[in-house]
Amino acid sequence: MRANNLQILFSILSFLIPFFLFGQSDRDGSRRVTSTYYISNTTVIPYPGELLTGQNLLFSDGVIKALGKNIAIPAEAREIKGDSLFVYAGFIDMANKTGMEEPPIPEKPEDFDPSQPLPEIAGIHPHFSALDHYQENNPHDKEWRKLGFTIAQKLPKGKGMLPGKSALVLYGHESRNNTLSENQSLYFKFSTAGGVYPNTDLGVMAKWRDLMENSRLYDKHGEMYDVRSSLRRRENNPVLEALIPVFKKEMPLLIESSDELDIRRALKMQEENNFDLVITGINEGASLLPLLKEKKAGVVLTLHLPEDKFSDPPEGDKGPHFNHRLERVKTAYQESLALAGEFEKAAVPFGFTSKHLPRADFFKNIRLMVANGLTEQGALAALTVHPAEILGISDIAGTISEGKMANLVLMSDTLFSEKARVMMVVADGFVFDFSEKPEKVKEEEVVWEYEAETQGGKSKGKWTLTRKDKKWTGTVSYDDPQGEGVKTSSIENAVVTEKSLAFSFTVQVGTDSLQVSVSGEVTGKEFSGTMKITDYGNYPVRAKKLEKPEQ
């Protein structure tokens, strides 16, 4: 009887967490009663370097209507109390790939000749559009929006040198179409699909030169055919067609760089073929500043910084060579932190890209840059006005002024101070309210997905732990041992630390009650320990912390 109970007890089930945790705030902006809002008596930073206090900011239908101390407030406008808030223009992310999917690529044929692959197989598909492979309502973009990003340049994915055209999207409301522009720039990178021509940077550079030249000839052929139809017709070539706007300077080429030699290659490409150039992913190259300035290249620095591995060197005297190397690597680290400041000093305007950046590092890294030479105005400019200029959307974004899109970040303090928190984000005029401290929710509610090995086989379920006033409570889920469906028990005696987790619960099987206690170690998102069932024995149990319990 008891063994049977166990078998049932540890069978698999899943469990859903209550969805709406906060009745008051409108965190997904889905229930608004008006599209007209005003932020009252607030502090506004309309553009970097300017700070206005006691302001009222009115926006309606996604457009900023008025800003000032005494502005007319229409009756339908809903008030957002702004007296403790600092209002900044919404951030703009460049060269971002969240929510992008790899486009489907044709299969290699049987008798495939890797020296002459189809362009798509070689990673050459500049005619692809980022929007065709963009998951509009992906959870990542929403997380970035929580940090203040309201507009992003989305890059197409692809393994080769020309993945396609980038798009500009709003991180606006899910119910709307949030495309700002579809063919924003052409994306180029120094990488290859592998195993076919071109296979290295050598081939990439050569292939690019041929493509540019042939795109010109293709265009010329078209012009000639338009005038004289007795000529050989021009076969449609989407790859060459897609490159025409680049050499005509109607669309910039966005080149991804991974080091300063890539930056030099990008500048060389521009010199050879004279196009509008934006270089993204810049992580080094202070010595290139005069050149970047002279060439008027658009510049996008990475927000991703190297790991600080050597601030606390190992103990003991390691000798002069070791110490010398340590000094150099520390200098190199400092140079990475100081790079943005160097660019600012050289008056080379730049934007930022969040590519490769863990979200948790966003404010931390900006503060590191600010602590190492970048001014706060410079940092704000790199998130707002400069990317707007580089993307050619200064008329609608980048600053807070009448007529611009209502993209705003409402902070609890000045932007880069340690205690500053994003209270609300306005994107496309929709208000996303995070003032209920959603950040803390993560700490307060933890969901683990467990799997235990018992005689009865594998059993799975969830532990949901909630902290209220420093006390942890919660539930354990498992299959009803006496039938179908989900049963839960309350968690008791929970002890939660950073590195350990222990609790107990009771399972009712008919008239019997089983006492179960769980304890073990926590390493990051992994739990490993034992589950003790009184009178039965100990069983290994593993669990994984779920990423986003509140979703």
Partner 1 sequence: MQKKTYLSCIGIFWILLAGRAQQHSRADLLIKNAKVLTITNGLLENTDVLVRDGIIRQIGSDINVPGQVPTIDASGKYLMPGIIDAHSHLALEVINESSSPITAEVRMRDVVDPFDVGIYRALAGGTTVSHAMHGSANAIGGQNVTLKHRYGTRDPENLVMKDAPRTIKFALGENPTRVHGRGKNLQPRSRMGVEAVIRNGFEEALQYKKAWEEWHESEENKEKLMVPPVYNSRLETLVDILEGEIIIHCHSYRADEIYMLIQVCREYGIDKIVFSHVNEGFKVAPELAKYTMGASVFADWWAYKFEVYYSTAYNAAILTKNGVITSINSDSAELIRHLYHEAAKTQRYGELTDEEALALITINPARQLGIDHLVGSIEVGKQADLVLFDGHPLSIYAVPQMTWIDGVKYFDRENDAADQRLKVNAEESLEPIYLHTEHHNCMRDVDFYFTGFGRNLFQHSH
Residues 6+ apart with CB under 8 A from 417: none
Tell me how far apart the alpha carbons of residues 487 and 187 are, in angstroms, rounded to a whole number.
Answer: 52
Residues 6+ apart with CB under 8 A from 373: 337, 338, 340, 341, 342, 344, 345
- E strands in 162-276: 164-165, 167-170, 179-181, 186-189, 253-256
Cβ of residue 311: shortest distance to partner 1, in angstroms?
12
Residue 406 contacts residue 414 (beta carbons within 8 Å): no
Tell me the CA distances in angstroms from 6 to 25, 291, 457, one per residue in order.
43, 72, 9
324: contact with partner 1 by CB under 8 A: yes
Cβ of residue 343: shortest distance to partner 1, in angstroms?
17
> Between 9 and 266, whose beta carbon lies closer to partner 1?
266
Cβ of residue 294: shortest distance to partner 1, in angstroms?
14
Alpha-carbon dihedral angle through residues 479, 480, 486, 492, given to the nearest 10 degrees = -90
- Which neighbouring-strand residues pair with 545? 448
Question: Can you tell me which of 249, 296, 309, 359 binds partner 1, judged by CB under 8 A?
Answer: 309
Which span sits near partner 1 by CB under 8 A: 210-218, 369-377, 481-489, 509-517? Answer: 210-218
- Please tell me whether residue 37 adopts helix, strand or coil conformation: strand
Which span sits near partner 1 by CB under 8 A: 42-50, 98-106, 196-204, 381-389? Answer: 196-204
Radius of gyration (Cα) for the chain, nearest Å?
28
323: contact with partner 1 by CB under 8 A: yes
Cβ of residue 97: shortest distance to partner 1, in angstroms?
23
Residue 444 contacts residue 465 (beta carbons within 8 Å): no
Question: Can you tell me which of 1, 16, 75, 202 binds partner 1, judged by CB under 8 A?
Answer: 202
Strand bridging mode 298-302 / 277-282? parallel
Which span sits near partner 1 by CB under 8 A: 23-31, 241-249, 264-272, 425-433? Answer: 264-272
Site string for partner 1, 136-175 (x = CB under 8 A): ----------------------------------------
Question: Can you tell me which of 26, 28, 241, 260 binds partner 1, judged by CB under 8 A?
Answer: 260
194: contact with partner 1 by CB under 8 A: yes
Using CB under 8 A as the binding rule, the residues of this chain from 216 to 255 that contact partner 1 are 217, 220-221, 224-225, 228, 231-232, 234
196: contact with partner 1 by CB under 8 A: yes
CA atoms within 13 A on the CB side of 335: 12
> Between 47 and 225, whose beta carbon lies closer to partner 1?
225
Question: Can you tell me which of 268, 356, 359, 442 binds partner 1, judged by CB under 8 A?
Answer: 268
Using CB under 8 A as the binding rule, the residues of this chain from 474 to 513 that contact partner 1 are none
332: contact with partner 1 by CB under 8 A: yes
Residues 6+ apart with CB under 8 A from 234: 218, 221, 222, 225
Looking up tokens 């107990």, which residue turns up?
504
Minimal CA–CA distance to 352: which of 165, 96, 89?
96
261: contact with partner 1 by CB under 8 A: yes
- Which neighbouring-strand residues pair with 101? none
Count of residues near partner 1 by CB under 8 A: 54
Minimal CA–CA distance to 303: which of 253, 342, 360?
360
Cβ of residue 367: shortest distance to partner 1, in angstroms?
18
Cβ of residue 277: shortest distance to partner 1, in angstroms?
17
> Between 11 and 257, whose beta carbon lies closer to partner 1?
257
User: What is the number of residues in the chain?
Assistant: 551
H-helix segments, 356-432: 362-371, 376-383, 385-390
Which span sits near partner 1 by CB under 8 A: 209-217, 356-364, 384-392, 539-547? Answer: 209-217
Q: Classify each residue of 360-397 as buried b or exposed e, where b means 16 or more C-beta atoms within 10 Å of its C-beta.
A: eebbebbbbbbebbbbbebbbbbbbbbbbbbbebeeeb
205: contact with partner 1 by CB under 8 A: yes
Cβ of residue 362: shortest distance to partner 1, in angstroms?
20
115: contact with partner 1 by CB under 8 A: yes
Q: Which amino acid is at 389?
A: E
Cβ of residue 346: shortest distance to partner 1, in angstroms?
16
Tell me how far apart the alpha carbons of residues 244 and 249 are, in angstroms, rounded to a whole number.
Answer: 9
Cβ of residue 379: shortest distance to partner 1, in angstroms?
21
* Token output for 521: 């170690």
Cβ of residue 201: shortest distance to partner 1, in angstroms?
5
Which span sits near partner 1 by CB under 8 A: 130-138, 305-313, 437-445, 498-506? Answer: 305-313
Site string for partner 1, 334-363 (x = CB under 8 A): -xx---------------------------
* Token output for 114: 């890797």
> Between 101 and 210, whose beta carbon lies closer to partner 1?
210
Does residue 198 have a cis bond before it (omega within 30 degrees)? yes
Residues that bind partner 1 (CB under 8 A): 113-116, 194-203, 205-206, 209-210, 213-214, 217, 220-221, 224-225, 228, 231-232, 234, 260-261, 264-265, 268, 287, 306-307, 309-310, 320-329, 331-333, 335-336
